[in-house]
Every structure is written in C-alpha cells, then in structure tokens.
Amino acid sequence: ASYDMGGHDTYMHKEISEQPDAVDRVLRGRIDDRFSTVHLGGLNLDPREARTIRRIKILGCGTSYHAGLIGASLIEGMARIPADAEPASEFRYRNPVVDPDTLYIAVSQSGETYDVLAAVQELKRKGARVLGVVNVVGSAIAREADGGVYVHAGPEVCVVSTKCFTNTVVAFALLALHLGRIRDLSVTDGKRIIEGLRKLPAQIEEILKTEDEIKSIAAEYAGAQSMMFIGRVRGYPVALEASLKLKEISYIHAEAYPASELKHGPLALIEPALPTVAIVPDDDLLEKNRAALEEIKARSGRILAVAHQPQAKADHTIVVPKNEDELDPILMGIPLQLFAYHTALAMGRDIDKPRNLAKSVTVE
C-alpha cells in the first residue's frame, strides 16, 4: 500500500493514533437527538421487520470475530434480542440450522475474507437475511449482503486491525441502539448511550496521551514467554482481542480466559513468570474481578490491570476514562493496542507485517 505514514514509524501506530477521528466518522450524521436513536441509511430493514427478529447471529474471523462478540453483547443488552458471535469458518463447516427468524450479520474489515464470504453465500442460498458490518465500501461481502452498516474507519494497512476494530464495535453500538429503540429501549437510555457515544473521541484522545506510561509498562513485560488475559462478561472479548493483538505482533504466547474460569484450570499456571492482564471496569462486577486479582496475587502472579481506578492488587494499572458500562469495552481495548505495540517494538518485531499472517485471507 502506498498511503503516507504521516510522520509515524509504522502503519499500526498511525492507525492507533487515528482512532479519535475514525470514531468521529462512524458517528457522523447518524445520531438523531429528537428520537434518541440513530439512522443507518444502508440497513435496509424496516421497523416492522426489525420487531420480528428473534435471534441475531454474528459471523467474522480474527479481530472482526472479536468485534462481533462485543457487538452481540451490545445488541443483547440494548435491544434484548438473544445474540451471539461465532467464527465464520466454524459456522460454515458445521452445517448450521438456518432459521428464518434469525438475522445474520457478517463482519469484515476488508469485506473479502473467504470464510466470511462463503458463509454469507451459503446463508443467502438458504434464504436468510444477512447484513454486513464492513469497512471497505463496495467489497464482496458488502455487495452480497442485503444491507448493512459501513464502519468508515478509513484505509487500514497494518496486517493487524486496530482502528477498524474500534470502529466496528462503535458501529455495533449504533446498530444495537437503533434496534433497541425500535423495541424496548427507553428514550432515557437512548439519550444516555448517545451521550456516551459522543464522549468517545475525546476519551480516546485522553488514552492516547498516556502512551509514554504504557510504553514503560510494556518494557517490563517484553521478555515474557507467555501471558494470560482475563475479563468477565463484557470484559472477556476485550481480553480475547488484546491477547490476539499481543500474539500476532510480539509472538509472545498469550491466552484469554473468562476471569470466572481461572479456577477451573489456568490458575495452575500462575507463577511470577506468567503475567496476567486483567480487564477491571468499574461496574457491578468490580468486586468479582477484584477477587480474581487476589487469587492471582496469592500465587505471586504479576498483574497489569486496565481499570477505571488504580487496583491495589495489581503491579501496574492503566487507568482509562469511564463511559457508560455498555461502551466501556471500546475504551478498555485501546491501551492494550499500545501495550501490544510497544511490547513488540521492544522485541524488535516487524510490526506492520507479522510473520505468517496476511491482511486479508481471500482463499480457503
């Protein structure tokens, strides 16, 4: 690709830095303050149809799958429609039941990932309604879908996805709000979410300003053989994505677990040489998450927390600004992009072109 790096050393750094503007773009022109909802011009789904949806199934690969997991929880939370996400490749190969009351949503930065495209084509052949949440306008998946939401992240060059991940999650928040306001979400909650969405660009800007601190924290973890990432409910997909980012560009083995599952296995691995990154939002699960930190500390595990306030049990805390509970995952992922970046940089990795990976996988 021939886009200017704009003074950054890598595309990844450029793309991380662009996030306040990118989020601004996905919001622009879509918010309707009068009815506390959003307009999504390309959705192609009328309110009567939207009310008949009984389930939502989200399909994607890699980082887009992780964005879909957060999307499912946003939709379920705001629109109260049962929703889940699955890797498109798994879905394709297990001969899934295609249900007429289910709305299928394909997520893809490039819009060209073969496994996602093939899943969409199979769904359409079986008469399903499929929407796309796609970045590249006019791409194959965007064309196959019945409608959808463009993510407007702008061109993403680095093999690993950062700004597109964030924008995809914001696009899902818009879709969740839209569906929610057609169904049961109150005007008050609609307003609350809209206010939260509007705060995001400035809050991301604030997080980006802590880069030096994140860089010095990363220097302490750069030699690790392996790292554990934990989160609970909304925090779990954040942990999954942060662990993927770290392994893709640093080649440090990283695995993500729901915090509640620690005691069912991975606790056996905890020792000083296996640091844990914990997602600890200030919400109704805070005490539960703190208990997990205590479990880890009791086994002398090192802890890096991403939280809304310093965590006593953690060796380091990256403090992020608080938004609405539903939107917190969007912000909590961002410092961990910088964490992966600076860890990989300290290890001398080729950040924009990690070994063995491609930006889009257009073959089976």
What is the binding site for ligand G6P (CB under 6 A)?
61-64, 108-110, 113, 116, 159-161, 357, 359-361
| Distance in Å, CB of 347 to ligand G6P, minimum | 19
Give me the residue whose beta carbon is nearest to ligand G6P.
62
Instruction: State which residue, 64 or 317, has the beta carbon closest to ligand G6P.
Output: 64
| Distance in Å, CB of 109 to ligand G6P, minimum | 3
Q: Tokens 């919001």 sit at which residue?
A: 27
Q: Which residues are catalytic?
A: 359
Instruction: State which residue, 248 or 283, has the beta carbon closest to ligand G6P.
Output: 248
Taking the C-alpha atoms of residue 44 and residue 67, their distance in angstroms, rounded to an integer, is: 22
| Distance in Å, CB of 161 to ligand G6P, minimum | 5
User: b vs e for 105-128, b when ≥16 Cβ sit within 10 Å of the residue's Cβ?
Assistant: bbbbbbbbbbbbbbbbebbbeeeb
Instruction: State which residue, 244 or 307, has the beta carbon closest to ligand G6P.
Output: 244
Instruction: State which residue, 19 or 360, has the beta carbon closest to ligand G6P.
Output: 360
Query: How many DSSP H helices and E strands does the chain contain?
Result: 13, 12
Residues 6+ positions from 93 with CB-CB distance below 8 Å: none
Instruction: State which residue, 152 or 316, has the beta carbon closest to ligand G6P.
Output: 152
| Distance in Å, CB of 330 to ligand G6P, minimum | 17
Residue 161 near residue 109 (C-beta atoms within 8 A):
yes
At CB < 8 A and 24+ separation, what contacts does 290-293 make? 292/230, 292/232, 292/259, 292/260, 292/262
**How would DSSP label each residue in 255-276?**
EEEEGGGGGGTGGGG-STTS-E
